[in-house]
Amino acid sequence: MAHPDWVLKHKVKNSEIRCINGRYYLYAITAKWDPSKKRTKKVTLAMLGTIKEKEGFIPKGQSKKGRPAKESLTKNISIKEFGATHFLQHLGVDIIKELQKCFPTQWQSLLVLAINRLIYQAPLKNNDFLLEESFLSEQLREAKLDKNACTQLLQEVGSNREKIVELLRRFIQGAEHIVFDASHITSQSEKMKMAQKGYNNAREYDPQVNLFYMFSVDKQEPTYYRLFPGNIAGVSALQNCLEETQINNCIAIGDKGFCSEHNIDLLEKAKISYILPLKRNSQLIDYTRLEKKLYQEAFDGHFMHQERPIFYTCLAEKEERQVIIFTDKSLALEEERTYLRQISNNKEGYTLEGYKEKQISFGTIAMITNCKDKTPSKIYQGYKTRMEVETVFDTYKNLLEADRTYMQSDRSMEGWTFINHLATMLYYRVFNLLKRNDLLKSTSVQDLLLRLSRINKIKINNSWVVGEINSKTAKLMHKLNINIPIT
């Protein structure tokens, strides 16, 4: 039903008129990007006031008695998202400070792109719209995110790897435990030199760019990344990464793919402590002692890890290196059962001869390390922390949807990866806040950001005020000590 003209004249941008029980109300509305449906949707915000034929527009909470109609109040109404972006700026104060130093003329655009990637998983084409709908447009007026500006920004930032590394080094300094690993990003661009066909753990041979990552266990955040061509193995990238980061006085923890004599020499020359797992068929492992069932003959001791006994066997030392075999008997039974089941199912590659050869190594993991001041328990626990870097890649692929790229040049790819790295850093700031407050079981990072993104700033008659906050959101903010200024 069409509303009367005397009602419609009070409708302004970002508002909606509703008739409820014969009375007219003006509501603030906005459009939000829905990442699941890949389109915008209308979101109703606060009720701004009532509309009457004689009095005109009456703002919510304002008495009409003795006051003339104030139609001008509706002329400057504007609603912008505020809560989530304000919260992320507060958590990333140090990140913003380093951005300002390294990219003094571009930091505002980089920050907005990183925030939009985290909150909305936004592709480049939507960032101009998202900035306009956010209070960031009032705070960061130098941010330019139209198509041409974004293209130029990625090219400029991506061609300045030196400044990117300068920023990365600021966050890797002081890290005591560094976990590193490599993954891949699929690309169909024929213009990217780095996009080369290479084998990956998904058994794909598509053109890809490889991504090397470092994660600080003690700081609980990603600290460094490096891109390299898809046809080069991750194990080959370690030397350049060590030269760029200039890390020292830390323990480097990698996976089996990085364990080679060459890489061990690199780490030792850089005077970096390391914990690296060996493949079960490595010539450095001697399983002879494990053939004996007696505790005192097979093992040098044990410790508890997540309520499971872990036995360890220390092999003969070589120079500054030591090899330790860890045995998890519960895991051994599970692996043995799985292998025998495959034999029963006539699975190709599983034979009784193979079982006899492998049975002594079931449930074991051997590590080579130069951390002689660490107990076997500490070495084992240190290695288990490498799951953290796998979580970083999960964030990349699932949350940021950054496991596939449409960048058309190596420079743009570098700039885009830098923005995703900033978004990942911010993600871990939120994740760690929830973790410290024991809320991860009930609230995810995206849950919190979704709730906070519903907190808006409303401009009425040239004054900005914070809109109403949902009661459940307010309780969550109280638990996390999140403060949203009302003006």
- 404-424 pLDDT tens trace: 566 778 899 899 999 999 999
- pLDDT above 60 (res 46): yes
What is the end-to-end Cα distance of the chain in Å, rounded? 37
The three-point CA angle 64-66-67 to 5° equals: 60
Q: Give the least confident one: 11-25, 46-60, 270-284, 381-395.
A: 381-395
Q: Which of 200-209, 241-250, 301-310 has the highest mean pLDDT?
A: 301-310
Burial of 280 from C-beta contacts in 10 A (0-12 / 13-18 / 19+): middle
Please give the helix or strand (H or E) that residue 205 lies within, else none. Answer: none
pLDDT at residue 62 in the model? 63
Burial of 463 from C-beta contacts in 10 A (0-12 / 13-18 / 19+): exposed
- pLDDT above 50 (res 224): yes
Look at the block and give the residue holding tokens 């930032």. 157
Query: 244 vs 77, which has greater pLDDT?
Result: 244
- 103-131 pLDDT tens trace: 999 999 999 999 999 999 888 889 999 99
Contact between 257 and 235 (Cβ < 8 Å) = yes
- pLDDT above 90 (res 171): yes
- pLDDT above 80 (res 317): no
DSSP line for 331-375: HHHHHHHHHHHHHHTT-TT--HHHHHHHGGGTTEEEEEE--TTS-
Percentage above 90 pLDDT, the chain? 49
Q: Give the least confident one: 209-223, 369-383, 456-470.
A: 456-470
**Could you tell me the pLDDT band of residue 202, with boundaries at 50, 70 and 90?**
low
Contact between 194 and 410 (Cβ < 8 Å) = yes
* Alpha-carbon span 246 to 234, nearest angstrom: 19
Q: Which amino acid is at 451?
A: R
Burial of 293 from C-beta contacts in 10 A (0-12 / 13-18 / 19+): exposed
Mean pLDDT of the chain: 86
H helix count then E strand count, the chain: 18, 18
